[in-house]
């Protein structure tokens, strides 16, 4: 079975002391976080920062120490296929390493990989996310941000 390894980030910015999370709208219709393939020789943190810049145009980003989560899932690699070929597409095991990233840049310039974006507070973002594993990641990230805010760091 083919395998892929990617890295990305759950990006947030504070508005009126409330974290707002950046969700990207993918052409297939789902909403998720910025992520992408790890290039040869690249550290996962470098991949996350590069993908954030490529997919959102955001350069001013701070990866928050202490948050690193793994998302594992299977998907059918059938993006450009149709008909019978789409049915026969191979299943791929994907591992994505997610970081938590803070920015103060609200202006997003999405790449052609996406149809749109939204900055949403947790209660709205959790409803908008498509996949269960993304919702679980957001919950962990929001808990982490809440604890971080209470500690004042």
**Interior angle at CA 105, CA 50 and CA 26, nearest 5:** 55
d(CA 143, CA 51): 24
Q: What is the pTM of this model?
A: 0.87
* Per-residue pLDDT tens over the stretch 77-126: 665 656 666 667 788 888 999 999 999 999 999 988 899 999 999 999 99
d(CA 128, CA 120): 9
**Domain boundaries of the chain, sorted by first residue:** 3-151
* Per-residue pLDDT tens over the stretch 40-53: 999 999 999 999 99
Q: Which fold has domain 3-151?
A: Nucleoside Triphosphate Pyrophosphohydrolase (3.90.79)
Q: How far is CA 152 from the centre of its chain?
A: 25
What percentage of the chain reaches a pLDDT higher than 70? 90
What's the chain's average pLDDT? 90
């Amino acid at each position: 079975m083919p395998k892929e390894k990617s890295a990305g980030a759950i990006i947030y910015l504070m508005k009126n002391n409330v974290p707002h999370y950046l969700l990207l709208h993918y052409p297939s219709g789902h909403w998720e976080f910025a992520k992408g393939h790890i290039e040869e020789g690249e550290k996962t943190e470098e991949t996350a920062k590069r993908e954030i810049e490529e997919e959102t145009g955001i350069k001013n980003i701070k990866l928050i120490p202490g948050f690193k989560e793994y998302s594992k899932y299977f998907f059918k690699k059938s993006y450009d296929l149709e008909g019978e070929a789409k049915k026969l597409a191979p299943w791929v095991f994907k591992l994505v390493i997610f970081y938590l990233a803070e920015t103060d840049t609200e202006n997003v310039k999405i790449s052609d990989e996406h149809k749109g974006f939204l900055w949403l507070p947790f209660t709205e973002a959790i409803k908008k996310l498509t996949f269960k594993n993304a919702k679980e990641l957001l919950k962990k990230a929001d808990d982490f941000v809440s604890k971080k805010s209470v500690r004042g760091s």
